[in-house]
């Protein structure tokens, strides 16, 4: 597992780097071929291809258990040259080592083990996607299609530093808003001007007031730009918003509240428009998802791990399978932390027991999970 992890970490695969993302995919496809599994590509022109994995060549009408993961990272080309895979003090380091190339290696070995030894109570399948770190523009419809057909999904995002898995996640929406004003010389012709930046400032204050930590709602304007020159009233300005929420019904409420702020001009004469740039759906608790978690928790205990379910404010592809009603468990990859930073690490001695926990959970999957 470590040897394969080293190989795939040492290939740059930022979300927009199609050739790098596909190179990581090719390495996994070679492994699946060697192990006798069937791996097929669903091509994409802009982003990396999606990869579907099956144990058998024979089609089945039964709903499959799906092991899911993404192989893109947040890191630019050249990151591997700066800090390639390395092991130090029981931890592995390198770009994407735990988010989530480690989880993909874990999935691959579990799939190969079931191919070799059998025993799965339903067809097993794998899905490796290409663009999770930018909210899965190409993968989302594929993930939703696979989720609708699946009995359940294990998404091997990193286990929490505590070792816990993720049973619920926030939903998140990235929005962009553009404000239009009117340019005028701010010395000689000030009265003719309408400042888009002035309006942007009012909107930022109003947007941030939507944050309600008790309800788990946060609104962050994380990017702004605007203006033409210091001595011109700004003809245009824009901001980008990260909106997070917990429950499905909050999505519409919060979007409406944001829209109202965008539509309301404090600086007379300005106009503004709003657009969604990217989106993740929340993972919320359901009886079937709870049953899946309890099955995993007992399996993990037999693999020597004490695991609890945790809530995460971070978003992931698991929201898309949960969103189409598929029992989903997230964060079942190897344990690690500091994702998206140069200090990202993976606890090496969790690779095998976490794989064992997943395999046991598959073997013992309750008969009533995901059959409807």
Q: Which residues of this protein are in contact with Zn ion, per CB under 5 A?
A: 99-100, 157
Min dist CB 157 to Zn ion, Å, is 5
- The sign one gets for the Cα dihedral 313, 314, 318, 323 is positive
Q: Which is nearer to Zn ion, 100 or 173 (CB)?
A: 100
Question: Residue 35: helix, strand or coil by DSSP?
Answer: coil
| Strand order from edge to edge, sheet including 309-312 | 38-42, 50-54, 124-129, 65-70, 152-155, 328-330, 165-169, 309-312
State the Cα–Cα distance between residues 333 and 345, nearest whole angstrom.
Answer: 13
Min dist CB 132 to Zn ion, Å, is 5
State the Cα–Cα distance between residues 312 and 67, nearest whole angstrom.
Answer: 20
Min dist CB 289 to Zn ion, Å, is 19
DSSP 133: G
State the Cα–Cα distance between residues 9 and 248, nearest whole angstrom.
Answer: 35
**Token pair for 197:** 């930046």
Min dist CB 158 to Zn ion, Å, is 7
The torsion angles phi and psi of 277, rounded to 5 degrees, stand at -100, -30
Min dist CB 166 to Zn ion, Å, is 11
Min dist CB 9 to Zn ion, Å, is 14
Q: Which residues pair with 240 in a beta bridge?
A: 176, 223
CA dihedral 321, 21, 38, 146 (to 10 degrees): 10
For 143-186, the DSSP string reads HHHHHHH-SEEEE-PPBPTTS-EEEEE-EEEEEEEEEE-B--BT
Q: Which is nearer to Zn ion, 234 or 351 (CB)?
A: 351
Q: Which is nearer to Zn ion, 159 or 323 (CB)?
A: 159
Residue with the CB atom nearest Zn ion in the bound state: 99
Closest alpha carbon to 254 in 238, 237, 271, 241: 241
Min dist CB 332 to Zn ion, Å, is 12
Closest alpha carbon to 44 in 178, 111, 152, 141: 141
Q: Which is nearer to Zn ion, 100 or 369 (CB)?
A: 100
125 alpha-carbon distance from chain centroid: 19
Q: Which is nearer to Zn ion, 157 or 199 (CB)?
A: 157
Q: Which is nearer to Zn ion, 64 or 158 (CB)?
A: 158
Min dist CB 23 to Zn ion, Å, is 18
Q: Which is nearer to Zn ion, 165 or 237 (CB)?
A: 165
Q: Which is nearer to Zn ion, 100 or 362 (CB)?
A: 100
């Amino acid at each position: 597992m470590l040897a394969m992890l080293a190989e795939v970490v040492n290939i740059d695969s930022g979300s927009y780097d199609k050739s790098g993302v596909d190179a990581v995919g090719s390495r996994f496809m070679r492994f699946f071929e060697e192990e006798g599994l069937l791996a097929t590509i669903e091509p994409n022109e802009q982003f990396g291809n999606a990869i579907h994995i099956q144990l058998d060549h024979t089609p089945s009408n039964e709903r499959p258990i799906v092991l899911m993961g993404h192989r893109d990272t947040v890191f630019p080309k050249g990151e591997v040259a700066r800090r390639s895979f390395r092991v130090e003090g029981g931890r592995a380091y390198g770009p994407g080592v735990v988010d989530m190339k480690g989880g993909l290696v874990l999935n691959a070995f579990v799939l190969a083990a079931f191919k070799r030894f059998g025993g799965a109570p339903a067809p097993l399948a794998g899905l490796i996607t290409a663009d999770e770190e930018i909210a899965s523009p190409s993968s989302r419809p594929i993930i939703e299609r696979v989720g609708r057909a699946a009995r359940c999904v294990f998404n091997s995002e990193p286990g929490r530093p505590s070792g816990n898995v993720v049973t619920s996640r926030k939903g998140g929406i990235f929005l962009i808003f553009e404000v239009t004003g009117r340019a005028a010389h701010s010395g000689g012709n000030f009265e003719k001007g309408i400042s888009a930046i002035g309006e942007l400032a009012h909107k930022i204050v109003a947007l941030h007031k939507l944050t309600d930590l008790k309800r788990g709602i946060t609104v962050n304007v994380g990017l702004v730009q605007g203006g033409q020159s210091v001595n011109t009233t700004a003809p245009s300005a824009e901001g980008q918003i990260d909106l997070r929420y917990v429950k499905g019904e909050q999505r519409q409420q919060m979007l409406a509240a944001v829209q109202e702020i965008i539509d309301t001009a404090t600086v007379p004469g300005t106009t503004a428009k709003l657009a969604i740039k990217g989106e993740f759906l929340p993972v919320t608790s359901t009886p079937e998802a709870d049953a899946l978690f309890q099955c995993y928790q007992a399996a993990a205990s037999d693999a020597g791990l004490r695991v609890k379910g945790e809530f995460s404010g971070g978003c992931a592809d698991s929201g898309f399978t949960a969103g189409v009603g598929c029992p989903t468990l997230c964060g079942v990859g190897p344990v690690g932390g500091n994702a998206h930073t140069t200090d990202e690490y993976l606890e090496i001695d969790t690779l095998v027991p976490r794989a064992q926990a997943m395999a046991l959970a598959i073997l013992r999957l309750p008969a009533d999970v995901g059959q409807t």
